[in-house]
Amino acid sequence: MYVVDSSGWIEHFVDGPNASNYRKYIQDLSKVVTPTIVLYEVYKKIKRECTEEDALTAVALMQQSHVVPLDDSIALSAADISLKYSIPMADSVVYATAVENKCLLVTSDEHFRNLDKVKFIPKTA
């Protein structure tokens, strides 16, 4: 099981330089867990940089994965993670969701680079 961070989904949807590195984690959506905060981040960025239709299409695909809402358990875990690793709230929620669901987090976000259970994909130009 995988949590694909916003950076990976965006690479996929805009066919960025790392898109192929993320597609192998996204191709079987039954194995993907998506935190609701990732839906927010991807929708916002795609809508801002492309169109609302593109953003809605992206979210529709993401909703075929197992979407996990922010609940009290994940929220408290995220707060502890934020304090321990000094990472921002949204990133803490993503990581806490991955940990609670026993998933590998796949990302290009530097905040996660040295954390356990993370597949870090360096950004390419």
Short-list 88, 15, 36, 37, CA closest to 26: 15
Confidence of residue 108 (pLDDT cuts 50, 70, 90): very high
Confidence of residue 29 (pLDDT cuts 50, 70, 90): very high
Query: What fold, for 2-120?
Result: Rossmann fold (3.40.50)
For 66, phi then psi, to 5°, come to: -90, 100
- All structural domains of the chain with their residue ranges: 2-120
Strands (DSSP E) found in the chain: 2-4, 32-35, 66-68, 104-107, 118-120
Structure tokens at 71: 């609940």
Per-residue pLDDT reduced to its tens digit, 68-104 = 999 999 999 999 999 999 999 999 999 999 999 999 9
- Cα within 13 Å of Cα(11), Cβ side: 24
Q: Is this prediction's pTM over 0.85? A: yes
Question: How many whole angstroms separate alpha carbon 92 and alpha carbon 81?
Answer: 6
